Amino acid sequence: MSYLFSSESVSEGHPDKVADQISDALLDQFLAYDPNARCAIETFNTTGQVIIMGEVRSTEYIDLQNIARQTINKIGYTKADYQFDGNSCGILTAIHEQSDDINRGVDNGDDDNQGAGDQGMMFGYACNETENYMPVTIDLAHLIMRTLAQIRKEGKVMKYLRPDAKSQVTVEYSDDNIPQRIDTIVVSTQHDDFADDNTMREIITHDVVNILIPKVKEQIHSPKVLSLFNDDIKYLVNPTGKFVIGGPHGDTGLTGRKIIVDTYGGRGAHGGGAFSGKDSSKVDRSAAYAARYIAKNMVAAGISDEVLVQLAYAIGVAEPVSVYVNTYGRSHVAMSDGEIAEKIKTMFDLRPKAIEKTLKLRQPMYLETAAYGHMGRKNEIVEKEFTSRYHETKKMKVELFTWEKLDQVERLKEAFGL
């Protein structure tokens, strides 16, 4: 019997994502001027207020308030009507130095065998539903949110849009786990107040169906994904009827509270550790990227149609305590999942410092990850500029989303006899 599966995404103006972006913007600023900085930065936001907390070990001084305000304004919170804007919100900082007890386990004098910054298990997942090896539900949910943000920032149509928004996509799957059709699309978007609530809802629903969704479809190049759209999709637009009060004024935001949106939309698994604000010595982040890198290359190599990789670490220990692979019975090699895991363990150096070097994780590359998902994104080189009242302006070429590279496919094919 077929089944339905759903994934959600949120916009860059969602309060939790505002928090993630501030945390990662601050991390990038530290890394731009001190590539060896250690950061675990948390952000809280609510009506007219931002609190920046956490631990940092760095040789450089950063203007936390200025970076936070720039980030908030770039998202689109620039009007007093929102009850939260970058120019007038209060910003409190409560940053202190990283614990020596944690640092001694990481900086143990042997750079190559740098210990993991914490214990925990991290997961990476990939499947062949989309061209970027992501589940189609989360991929479409992200695309809807990115497109809505583009429309808002262009300001040509749907001029009532405000920064906060959420989407959800439900897809029907066959018994053999193949996507068949889109069943439901949910879009809730913050908007300016309308004189008539009934007219408001009619207008927004019309615009979502006739402006937003066609723009979404224009960006899809996969025929099998386009074929999922049909005339019977149920559209639920602003189901409460009104969404004027939103953003940090409508709901408090916290760093790391959208970890399923950040990863695979509920597919695969998640170890519970958040990403934003953490430098790559924190395996919560770096090992999750490494696991995605391995899983994606495995599916692209044809080892399996679907792969889950788990890595687990102990604080202060370099080598992972376990490497686990699950192919969900969809493997194309004559090996058990345990045998596949053993081979993967020999092929990839999964010590934290090795992951940092392989994926170039000491770059200021993280603000771009903080909205619309960390996985399934485009690997590209961009030029970024960092300014500071305390340092010279820096222009740097930064390679984004290095864990999305497919540079291990041929090596995996050879190793697995494909």
Contact 271, 124 (CB under 8 A): no
Per the annotation, does 79 bind a ligand? no
Per the annotation, does 81 bind a ligand? no
Per the annotation, does 282 bind a ligand? yes
Amino acid at 403: W
Sheet holding 161-173, edge to edge: 3-10, 161-173, 179-191, 234-237
Which residue in this structure is represented by tokens 């305390």?
390
DSSP 3-state assignment of 78?
coil
What is the rounded distance in angstroms from the CA atom of residue 382 to the CA atom of residue 363?
12
Per the annotation, does 360 bind a ligand? no
Which residue in this structure is represented by tokens 């300001």?
155
Per the annotation, does 242 bind a ligand? yes
| Count of Cβ atoms closer than 10 Å to residue 393 Cβ | 8
Per the annotation, does 139 bind a ligand? no
The distance of Cα 102 from the centroid of its chain, to the nearest Å, equals 26
Per the annotation, does 278 bind a ligand? yes
Per the annotation, does 74 bind a ligand? no
Burial class (CB in 10 A: 0-12, 13-18, 19+), 159: exposed
Per the annotation, does 98 bind a ligand? yes
Per the annotation, does 274 bind a ligand? yes
Per the annotation, does 14 bind a ligand? yes
What is the rounded distance in angstroms from the CA atom of residue 163 to the CA atom of residue 139?
20
Per the annotation, does 269 bind a ligand? no
The pair of structure tokens assigned to 276 is 């934003």
The pair of structure tokens assigned to 308 is 């889950």
Which residue in this structure is represented by tokens 């989303």?
401
Per the annotation, does 337 bind a ligand? no
Per the annotation, does 357 bind a ligand? no
Per the annotation, does 258 bind a ligand? yes
Query: Binding-site residues for Mg(2+), please?
Result: 16
> Which residues define the annotated binding site?
14, 16, 42, 55, 98, 164-166, 242-243, 251, 257-258, 274, 278, 282
Q: Which residues are annotated as a binding site for L-methionine?
A: 55, 98, 251, 282
Annotated binding site for ATP: 14, 164-166, 242-243, 251, 257-258, 274, 278
User: What are the binding residues for K(+)?
Assistant: 42
